[in-house]
Amino acid sequence: MILWVVFALMTTAAVVAVLWPLARGVPAERSGGELAVYRDQLAEIERDRAADRIGEAEAEAARLEVSRRLLGAADKTSAEPRAPTDPPAWRRRVAAMVACVALPLGALALYLAIGSPDLPGEPLQARLKLPPGHNSFAALVSQVEAHLAHNPQDGRGWEVLAPVYMRLGRFDEAVTARRHALRLLGATGAREADLGEALVAESDGVVTEDAKGSFERALALDPTHVKARFFVGLAAEQDGKRDEAAAIWRDLIAKAPAGAPWVDFVQGSLARLEGNDAAPSAVARAPSAPAPPRPGTAAQAAPGPSEQDMAAAAELTPQQRGDMIRGMVDRLAERLKRDGTDIDGWLRLVRAYAVLGDRDKARAAASDARRALGSEPDKLRQIDELVKGLGLEG
């Protein structure tokens, strides 16, 4: 209701602004103003002479001068053009009626076309009392991004934003945010492991050399860090070092605190590695695998080996894990079809097919990589070395 009152007052002000000049008309010509001044001067001279303030000779001289100016002003006034007369009254009335009708109707039509008259009111005080979850998540992210655009040295801001990017699947931006937080806030085991996690997510689940370096630095700072230890084992598995991966995961399980929710997931990964689970492992970032939504949780799983994620991923059946892994490999292959310049992507794809047991697909991927990288001998050499190391020749 208040909104409509405000609109009515604004419309009234606009109408008055249009009608006021119409009501005033054209001001009357003030051609006699200068003549009146000179007449007043003559009368003043007569009063001064009568009061004996000036002599007769002075009075006569003053009369002549003022009379001369009076005659000049009279001649000038008669020669000037007359000011235009006011427009007819009927024209002013028509203009006033049009303004009174057209302005409110035009404003109302414009508001109904582009406004939101049915939108309920939302006072600021009521919005401030809402719990955080009721605010627009995208708006909150935009606010943090705007803050960091003006304050790029705010390490805490980058650290807050990085896990949000991970949940949104914006992995390249998560890597950038993790690097900024690490640089500005200093290295810790958790920050190095978080950076490695983001790099693994960005690489479609493959533990690259860059990611592996982050996990190794995390373990140098904190030898007990669960996330880093798990991913170092996963890197060993992806490199074909199954015994080393199994040893890392056995030690992780043996030293787990009582009731740790991630133990079941690591045990499942170890069982699969030792041949007790039919699901293969290649580019799987198992701790960040998107498990089916559990009641009361968001459907979007957070990447990274958090305890909750590891417990959730452990609930996947062998078939689900196998499908998940192959889906990631297929997405990597599709991306390389669109952009074949990514040497790291080709190396991951060939290695993934080899670990999955699809040696024909591994050889085909190597051939595709050679065609895509034909003009870059250094990258071709890396492909040839990988093919030789995996025994895919011939």
In tens, the pLDDT along 250-301 reads 998 888 888 788 888 888 888 888 764 444 444 443 343 333 232 233 333 3
Domain of 231, CATH number, reads: 1.25.40.10
Quick one: which H or E segment has residue 55? none
Q: Which domain holds residue 179?
A: 148-291
Residue 20 within any structural domain of the chain:
no
Contact 229, 209 (CB under 8 A): no
**59 assigned to some structural domain:** no
The 10s digit of each residue's pLDDT in 171-197 is 999 999 999 999 999 999 999 999 999
Q: Give a yes or no: residue 375 inside a domain.
A: yes
Pair 281, 336 in one domain: no
Same domain, 246 and 171: yes
Residue 273 lies in a domain: yes
For residues 241 and 347, state if they share a domain: no
Task: Based on the fold, state whether residues 287 and 181 are members of the same structural domain.
Answer: yes
Indicate if 159 and 283 belong to the same structural domain. yes
- Could you tell me if residue 180 is inside a domain? yes
Residue with the bigger pLDDT between 129 and 169: it is: 169
Q: Is residue 61 part of a domain?
A: no
Distance CA 227, CA 161 (A): 20
Q: What mean pLDDT is predicted for residues 79-103? A: 63
Residues 346 and 229: their CA atoms lie apart, in Å, by: 26
Domains of the chain: total: 2
- In tens, the pLDDT along 110-147 reads 766 666 555 555 554 454 444 554 455 677 778 888 88
199 and 271 in one domain? Answer: yes
In this structure, is residue 48 part of a structural domain? no
Which pLDDT does position 29 carry in this prediction?
A: 46
Tell me, yes or no, whether 158 and 236 share the same domain.
Answer: yes
Does pTM surpass 0.85? no
Q: Indicate whether 161 and 256 sit together in one domain.
A: yes
Residue 330 counted as domain residue: yes
Residue 256 has a pLDDT of: 85
Are residues 233 and 343 both part of a single domain? Answer: no
The Cβ-side half-sphere exposure at 272, using a 13 Å CA radius, reads: 23
- Nearest of 268, 260, 252 to residue 314 by alpha carbon: 268
